[in-house]
Chains A and B, each alone.
Chain A
Amino acid sequence: MPDPPVFLCDASCLTDRMRVDRLAEALRDSCDLTVIPYACGERGVRKMREILEVSEASHGVILTGRCPAGEALGEVLADSGHAVTCLDVSAYASETVAAAHVLFRLRTEKKPAPRRARKVYADAVLVIGGGVAGVQAALDLAEAEKKVYLVERAVSIGGIMSQLDKTFPTLDCSICILGPKLADVGRNPNIELLTLTEVSSIKGEAGRFDVTLTLHPRYVDMSRCTGCGSCSEVCPVILPNEWDLNLKPRKCIHILFAQSIPLRASVDMNHCIGCQLCVRACEKEAINLEDTERKKKIKVGAIVVTAGLDPFDATKRAGYGYGRYENVFTNIDFERIVCASGPTGGSLVRPDGKPIKKVAFIQCVGSRDVRFNRYCSGFCCMASIKEAMLIKENVPDAEVTIFFNDIRAAGKGFEELYLRVLKHGVSFIKGFPSWIEEDAETRDLMLNFEEMVEGTHRSAMRVDAVILAGGVEPDEALAGLAETLGVERDPFGFLEERHPTLSAIETTVPGIFMAGGVQGPKDIPESVAQASGAAARALAMIHRLKARSRSQDESERSS
């Protein structure tokens, strides 16, 4: 077999580390070497194509520095029917050592066997997680005429956004803007929505994944249930409603929230006493308490992971008393409290009925803290600012204080909202309270902190309620999902990007894309943009693989 042409890239990525002339000198006699100024540039590629065109060998080798060009170069040359491998030679101690390694690789390494393009499952895509990111990805894919399987673990799609009251920076009502999107998903003929479902195994590669799904029982036949709610009326088991953060009751058979999609009842089997009252109450005969788990196998060309993130468990910050003190809340609890559809009907009152007039927010709970999560959660400054604004709108004379380290209002319209709450008299104190005490009688809270005005002073503040800006962290189950999919996670536990800049919405496995909170904390607009982005990457990949497999079929037929 003829020797492959070797291209030595003469560009900054390599010249930062090594002298290209010396390396060329060391290699020139032992292989078919060409020095290419900027192999990754248009001219470099033209030159390499010319050489590959006349070469007897069917592939080439490009020696580069530490740079991410390999993948794109592979694709560019594949477009003209050439195969190349890229070798990063910049890490060796000297030019001669590098040359020795290169020659060794050239001698021992077999030419990569041309990959047989296999048949592509080009018509379907799997989206895992039905938060705002998954919803957007599913809608975009469906709009481009793909069949979409939208798999959601919970009984309804919607994710965190469905629990929010208003959204920063424009303070529009969260469910009012999300609800219609959820309804679009429910209506779209190209989307098969699978709630109470998880991915149990996957086989295959980009372009053809065989996926097995586990469908957990709902105990209600979705095709019959109309969402009328008669079952919940008669159900005798009353439980705290976790969707309203246990601040409001629900029944054992229940519909999660008014805008749920699908708007169908489901039974919480852990608490069902089997009384059958609902079965009898349901005119549609939709309830089957014997329902069982099922498996479903699907074939998809690409996967988009949008499994979201989880609010930080604030009980871990024991000193702030979350979970022990009745009037210490988190941001997400507070979203439910101010929401008109929430437990207090939108009135700012504590569980004991006392109006909330004096409030303190504590930022960075669980974030920017090496004991918990060392990253910044990105949106919680804005979440608190938004909630402070909502308090001021509800109770103009409320006293609101925000304890912070840095105020991170870095997004379109964010600084403007920050300035607005400042104008409304919200106070900001730099530094965090060290601990919180509860007045056993009044249940008011005492914050102890250091104030830096003309030196440092110990200070205390008494408030009706404390709101902890708990950040977000990877979902508990994400590790398991990542393992099932074979994708890597980053040091923080989120999914790792293929390249942090160039392919931030691709996982480490080709053909598996991602968007939203799984990739790291972010706000809604960024989640939505990424979701559309992941949809595009999936569409483009499927199209490319399909075209390649078609052209291979054709060339096989003609030969």
Chain B
Amino acid sequence: MKDDAVRIGVYVCHCGKNIAGVIRTADAVAFAQTIDDVVLAREDPYLCAEPGQKQIMSDIQEFNLNRVVIAACSPKLHEPTFRGALANAGLNPYLLEMANIREHCSWVHHLDGPAATEKSFDLIRMAVAKARLLEPLENRRVSTHKRALVIGGGIAGMRAALDLADMGLPVILVEKSPFLGGKLKGWSRMHPSMERAESLILPMGTRVLTHPLISVFTDSEVTEFSGYIGNFRATVTQSPRGVLPSCDLCGQCVPPCPVTRTDTGEKAIYAPSKGANPSMMAIDFDTCTRCGACVEACPKDAIRLDEEAKEQVFEVGAVVAAVGFDLFQPESQPKYGYGALPGVMTSEEVEGWLRTSAEAGKLTHPRTGKPIRRAAFIQCVGSRDPEGNRYCSRICCMVALKQVKELLERDPDLAVTVFYRDIRTIKKEDEDLYREMRDRGVRFVRGVVQSVTGDPETPTILVHSELTDTLAADRADLVVLSLGSVPPAGRDRVKSVLKLSTSDDGFFLEAHPKLKPLDTAIDGVFLAGACQAPKNAAESMAQGSGAAARVAGLLTKDHLELDGIVAFVIYDQCHGECLLCMKQCPFSAIEPIVMDGKKKPRIIEAACKGCGTCAGACPHEAMQLKGFTRDQLYAQIDAALEVDPGHKILAFCCNWCSYAGADFAGVSRLSYPPNVRIIKYMCSGRVNRQLVLHAFEKGAGMVLISGCRPPGDCHYISGNIQCERRMRAIRNIVEKRGIHPDRLRLEWVSATEGVVFQRVVTEMNERLRELEAENA
């Protein structure tokens, strides 16, 4: 692009009324036309639609445009669409810059149209300034490991593994517990077919275990994980099971074992049934005393109490996380009387009881030993709670009705009451179950349970009706708490190893709540089943299959294309020897080479993830990131501060969390002051002294540095940690320069924390006002 003059086309989108209802787009177009190098500016009702795309393509050809600026929605949504249009018109797709005038402007300033319009001018000016300096980039082609890793051997994970293997892709299946099947191992019968839960999981588990393309690792977890889409390395750590595959599940080891576990009532050496998958016992080493009684009893010499943990490393092209869910712990809410009153059981315990006992006729309470004449179910325990989990667990209404049905099948005379807030039987078969139970005389009482107290064996339930504002009491011999679902116990570990995010409810966060329910923010890592949100079994399985399709889309091709955003070295500026860039690169993507007798860095492009942490590390600005070079960032800063700089708040936001958080503020229509100007970098690891000082030198009123929440949220492992570390030094320098320390702020904002972004910039604006008043 040396000789060619820069020719920029600017397009302002109405997005129906989303933008045009707030911003005067015609004025924005008129403004754009006044900027140097802009040869054309237009507006369009929907740039993302085919006519808009066609307009851009024909303009590129007709007017010889060599840069395009789109002022529209967040680049998180349509950047690929517009890049596609550039490519189709024969222009390098990276010669595009977007001005986010929807999420960062019209949606947050919808109450102040004129201010939004004026801000849109700045956003366009900034985008044009960066566009001027854009260079064409090339995508990288990478080969893929044609093997998938599935984490979690519940129904979702097993389904994903089977579908992938049936497509001809080898699968590593990692299951934390000793047996496959997940939660269903503990359930009695499954709604709606009312077949035995084990009859659903055992045949599947057997297919998984005997499939020639699936390698199953039970007792295992993924403990280390690195790499990038198509080329991941996963370390699988297998803890000792204590039993060899020669075990044939005869069970002779069980009676001699002296340890009975308090949580499950099983011995320390155990298997869920003769149909356990895999077919071998397991030892719970947390309770095992290593007395050796089982070793002596085993006729096959299959027990090894001294077995050690093993570690294996696998190269895989894609990952499905299907780590399931856990249940709310009712001990934390004493009002339900769980633990204190033996008459109170959880829904999980009821499943286990029904599963293992064939009792029919008059039922006996497994804990109190008393006959059960009246049973009561309490819904929403640990869900829909203003003080606790606010979400609804989706399945527990169905589960309670199913359990009522099974109880009534055993004892048709049982009197049952369900205390509920809303009955949420949303699946097509579920309403029938609800109607059937009403027809069979089950009482449904709407209200919020206040307490379960009184007689330990026949407790009293006190319920408040919101409708009539009255209190009522009822007694039952069996009180069942319908527990809500919570994220799986090992969530934090999985989250930090795989670098996944979670949503406000604590479950894993999908890439898009509607259209990408199975993808995550990490390319090549997918979700399936109840770990994403509570689901019934059919839904979990559909997701398992779905994740398999997403993986197949990646791994059936011979090559994948990765974007062109990688680091590069300006060797003239590199002094050599320090290799700070190499030391701070979270992905070992930099190797030393010798040049002019000095050690200098070289980028391993396939491994570089494009965070720019190295660029932030280099004291001489010799390391740069394509698409986010120093000059490009400075151009944006300068443009943002061209008018009235002292009144502006410059917010540096990382691509994954804080920029998305600001988007979320927009989606949620959270208003904040219009003097905020957001500049995106890939990761807060890009921040260095020069960047911050440049902003203040140009007169910025306030500077916000933001990124993903430490320690775990950073999409580049440790960029935010490097940022935090550097910020200490930067603060000192800023102060030494006589800049008020309050003018520089570091805040972490996650992708769902629109409110946090709103609060932070609002506070900064107030502080700015105060500082302005003090100085005046």
Give residues of chain B (539-587) contacting chain A, Cβ–Cβ below 8 Å. Answer: 539, 541-550, 552-554, 556-557
CA distance A260 to B46 in the complex (A): 12
Given known contacts A453-B468, A501-B538, A529-B518, A38 and B202 CB-to-CB distance under 8 angstroms = yes
Given known contacts A37-B275, A169-B513, A374-B432, A410 and B392 CB-to-CB distance under 8 angstroms = yes
Q: Within 8 Å of chain A (Cβ to Cβ): is B77?
A: yes
Q: Within 8 Å of chain A (Cβ to Cβ): is B472?
A: no
Q: Give a binary string over A436-470; 1 marks a CB under 8 Å from any B CB, 0 the rest.
A: 00000000000000001110000000000000000
Q: Within 8 Å of chain A (Cβ to Cβ): is B733?
A: no
Looking at the complex, which one of A44, A415, A504 makes contact with B275 (CB distance below 8 Å)? A44
Residues of chain B with a CB closer than 8 A to A532's CB: 518, 545-547, 549-550
* B200 near A41: Cβ-Cβ < 8 Å: no
Looking at the complex, which one of B206, B424, B553, B669 makes contact with A45 (CB distance below 8 Å)? B206
Q: Give a binary string over A400-434; 1 marks a CB under 8 Å from any B CB, 0 the rest.
A: 00000011111111111001000000000010000
CB of B75 to closest CB in A, whole Å: 13
Looking at the complex, which one of B248, B275, B543, B550 makes contact with A140 (CB distance below 8 Å)? B550
Residues of chain B with a CB closer than 8 A to A132's CB: 515
* A540 near B163: Cβ-Cβ < 8 Å: yes
Q: Within 8 Å of chain B (Cβ to Cβ): is A167?
A: yes
* A68 near B199: Cβ-Cβ < 8 Å: yes
* A180 near B431: Cβ-Cβ < 8 Å: no
CB of A263 to closest CB in B, whole Å: 4
* A177 near B77: Cβ-Cβ < 8 Å: yes
* A261 near B392: Cβ-Cβ < 8 Å: no
Q: Within 8 Å of chain B (Cβ to Cβ): is A33?
A: no
* A536 near B545: Cβ-Cβ < 8 Å: yes
* B545 near A501: Cβ-Cβ < 8 Å: no
Q: Within 8 Å of chain A (Cβ to Cβ): is B413?
A: no
CA distance A494 to B429 in the complex (A): 11
* A533 near B515: Cβ-Cβ < 8 Å: no
CA distance A75 to B163 in the complex (A): 13
Looking at the complex, which one of A368, A453, A533 makes contact with B545 (CB distance below 8 Å)? A533
Residues of chain A with a CB closer than 8 A to B669's CB: 393
Residues of chain A with a CB closer than 8 A to B688's CB: none
Residues of chain B with a CB closer than 8 A to A500's CB: 192-193, 429, 538
* B46 near A536: Cβ-Cβ < 8 Å: no
Give residues of chain B (149-193) contacting chain A, Cβ–Cβ below 8 Å. Answer: 162-164, 166-168, 190, 192-193
CB of B392 to closest CB in A, whole Å: 4
Q: Give a binary string over A350-382; 1 marks a CB under 8 Å from any B CB, 0 the rest.
A: 000000000000000000100000111010000
Identify 18 new A-B residue pairs, CB closer than 8 A, beyond the known A76-B207, A501-B190, A529-B518: A11-B273, A11-B274, A12-B198, A43-B275, A69-B199, A72-B206, A173-B16, A180-B77, A180-B81, A259-B49, A415-B392, A501-B538, A529-B539, A531-B546, A533-B541, A539-B167, A540-B548, A543-B168
* B545 near A406: Cβ-Cβ < 8 Å: no
* A170 near B202: Cβ-Cβ < 8 Å: no
CB of A164 to closest CB in B, whole Å: 10
Give residues of chain A (78-137) contacting chain B, Cβ–Cβ below 8 Å. Answer: 79-80, 132, 136
* B204 near A38: Cβ-Cβ < 8 Å: no
Looking at the complex, which one of A12, A66, A339, A494 makes contact with B16 (CB distance below 8 Å)? A339
6 smallest CB-CB distances across A and B, nearest first, come from A38-B275, A340-B16, A43-B279, A532-B546, A143-B553, A533-B545
Q: Within 8 Å of chain B (Cβ to Cβ): is A206?
A: no
Q: Within 8 Å of chain B (Cβ to Cβ): is A341?
A: yes
A/B interface sample: 25 pairs, CB < 8 A: A12-B198, A41-B277, A43-B248, A67-B196, A72-B206, A75-B207, A76-B207, A132-B515, A136-B515, A144-B549, A145-B557, A177-B512, A183-B49, A263-B50, A339-B16, A346-B16, A346-B17, A374-B435, A406-B423, A410-B397, A413-B505, A520-B427, A525-B517, A532-B546, A540-B167
Given known contacts A76-B210, A79-B210, A368 and B515 CB-to-CB distance under 8 angstroms = no
Given known contacts A340-B21, A501-B541, A407 and B422 CB-to-CB distance under 8 angstroms = yes
Residues of chain B with a CB closer than 8 A to A530's CB: 542, 546
Q: Within 8 Å of chain B (Cβ to Cβ): is A492?
A: yes
CB of A510 to closest CB in B, whole Å: 14
* B278 near A412: Cβ-Cβ < 8 Å: no
Give residues of chain B (467-487) contacting chain A, Cβ–Cβ below 8 Å. Answer: 467-469
Give residues of chain B (191-245) contacting chain A, Cβ–Cβ below 8 Å. Answer: 192-193, 195-196, 198-200, 202-207, 209-212
CA distance A339 to B18 in the complex (A): 10
* A528 near B18: Cβ-Cβ < 8 Å: no
CA distance A408 to B167 in the complex (A): 38
Given known contacts A413-B513, A539-B167, A41 and B195 CB-to-CB distance under 8 angstroms = no
Chain A, Cβ-Cβ closest to B467: A452
Residues in B lying within 8 Å of A, measured CB to CB: 15-18, 21, 45-46, 48-51, 53, 73, 77-78, 80-81, 84, 162-164, 166-168, 190, 192-193, 195-196, 198-200, 202-207, 209-212, 248-249, 273-279, 358, 384, 390-392, 394, 397, 422-432, 435, 446, 467-469, 503-505, 507, 510, 512-518, 532-533, 536-539, 541-550, 552-554, 556-557, 667-669
* A375 near B432: Cβ-Cβ < 8 Å: yes
CA distance A389 to B537 in the complex (A): 32
Residues of chain B with a CB closer than 8 A to A239's CB: none
Contact-residue size bin, chain A (C-beta under 8 Å from the other chain)? 35 or more
* A529 near B517: Cβ-Cβ < 8 Å: yes
Give residues of chain A (539-553) contacting chain B, Cβ–Cβ below 8 Å. Answer: 539-541, 543-544, 547
CB of A174 to closest CB in B, whole Å: 9
Residues of chain A with a CB closer than 8 A to B468's CB: 452-454
CA distance A66 to B194 in the complex (A): 10
CB of A464 to closest CB in B, whole Å: 21
* A179 near B48: Cβ-Cβ < 8 Å: yes
* B667 near A172: Cβ-Cβ < 8 Å: yes
* A13 near B199: Cβ-Cβ < 8 Å: yes
* A13 near B196: Cβ-Cβ < 8 Å: yes
Residues of chain A with a CB closer than 8 A to B48's CB: 176, 179-180, 183, 259
CA distance A259 to B48 in the complex (A): 8
Residues of chain B with a CB closer than 8 A to A65's CB: 199
CB of B666 to closest CB in A, whole Å: 10
Residues of chain A with a CB closer than 8 A to B200's CB: 68, 501-502
CA distance A141 to B556 in the complex (A): 11
Given known contacts A340-B18, A501-B541, A41 and B279 CB-to-CB distance under 8 angstroms = yes
Q: Within 8 Å of chain B (Cβ to Cβ): is A295?
A: no
Residues of chain B with a CB closer than 8 A to A374's CB: 431-432, 435
CA distance A227 to B50 in the complex (A): 9
Residues of chain A with a CB closer than 8 A to B193's CB: 68, 499-501
Q: Within 8 Å of chain B (Cβ to Cβ): is A535?
A: yes
CB of A69 to closest CB in B, whole Å: 4
Residues of chain B with a CB closer than 8 A to A10's CB: 274
Given known contacts A45-B210, A179-B48, A183-B50, A340 and B429 CB-to-CB distance under 8 angstroms = no
* A505 near B542: Cβ-Cβ < 8 Å: yes
* A258 near B45: Cβ-Cβ < 8 Å: yes
Chain A, Cβ-Cβ closest to B548: A536
* B274 near A38: Cβ-Cβ < 8 Å: yes
Q: Give a binary string over A491-519; 1 marks a CB under 8 Å from any B CB, 0 the rest.
A: 01010010111101100000000010000
User: Which has the most chain B C-beta neighbours within 10 Å: A44, A341, A529?
Assistant: A529
Given known contacts A16-B196, A170-B667, A537-B163, A416 and B504 CB-to-CB distance under 8 angstroms = yes
Looking at the complex, which one of A37, A141, A183 makes contact with B53 (CB distance below 8 Å)? A183
Residues of chain B with a CB closer than 8 A to A529's CB: 517-518, 539, 542-543, 546
CA distance A261 to B51 in the complex (A): 11
Residues of chain A with a CB closer than 8 A to B549's CB: 140-141, 144, 532-533, 535-536, 539
* A419 near B21: Cβ-Cβ < 8 Å: no
CB of A490 to closest CB in B, whole Å: 7
Residues of chain A with a CB closer than 8 A to B196's CB: 12-13, 16, 67
Residues of chain A with a CB closer than 8 A to B168's CB: 543, 547
Given known contacts A176-B73, A263-B51, A406-B423, A79 and B211 CB-to-CB distance under 8 angstroms = yes
CA distance A132 to B203 in the complex (A): 33
* A526 near B275: Cβ-Cβ < 8 Å: no
Chain B, Cβ-Cβ closest to A502: B200
